[in-house]
Amino acid sequence: MPKYDVTVTTGAPLEAVWKLLVDASSWPLWSKVDSLDTARSVGLDPGGDDGVGAVRAFRTGRTVTGERLTEKAEPRLLAYEGAFNPSMRNYRARIELRPTTNSGTVIHWHGEYETSVLLRWVMPRYLQNFMQGMAEGLARYAEGRGQAQ
């Protein structure tokens, strides 16, 4: 089963990173997704603290993918599975946060999935790079928000 595994360290405090992760509406601000598709999402928290069972639908270009939250251990772990995705099956991912000794945060984002024979050759490299960009975007945005407060 193909996998991706990225780790990024940010100077932002763990709580700031966590707040961005659990609020699906913030993802287009810091990630590679274009928008949150609220019409296809289910169970989003109006206060920005999505819980287990929520399905968060994100649009990237013309593609909409849905992710169902499966585990949440505040403020250190957010896990999800693919609810609908035209390119992947049996998708499972975990985002683990760990504080650093200097009040920053280590972001460890990893997952595994299945894909079609046609995409098997391109998807691993593409998804590794895409998820690296997601983690880096989260790290930079969280740092910027920490300085603005």
Please write the tens of the pLDDT for every residue from 126-136.
999 999 999 99
- What backbone phi and psi angles, to 5 degrees, belong to 125? -70, -45
Q: Do 47 and 138 touch, CB atoms closer than 8 A?
A: no
Q: What is the pTM for the complete model shown?
A: 0.93
Q: What is the mean pLDDT of residues 4-19?
A: 97
On average, the pLDDT of the chain sits at: 94
The tally of domains found in the chain comes to: 1
CATH number at residue 33: 3.30.530.20
Query: Tens of pLDDT along 14-41?
Result: 999 999 999 999 999 999 999 999 999 9
User: What whole-number percentage of the chain has pLDDT above 90?
Assistant: 89
Interatomic CA distance for residues 112 and 20, integer angstroms: 23
Interatomic CA distance for residues 28 and 35, integer angstroms: 5
Answer yes or no: is pLDDT of 144 > 60.
Answer: yes
- What backbone phi and psi angles, to 5 degrees, belong to 118? -65, -35
Name the residue range of residue 57's domain: 3-148
Answer yes or no: is pLDDT of 81 > 80.
Answer: yes
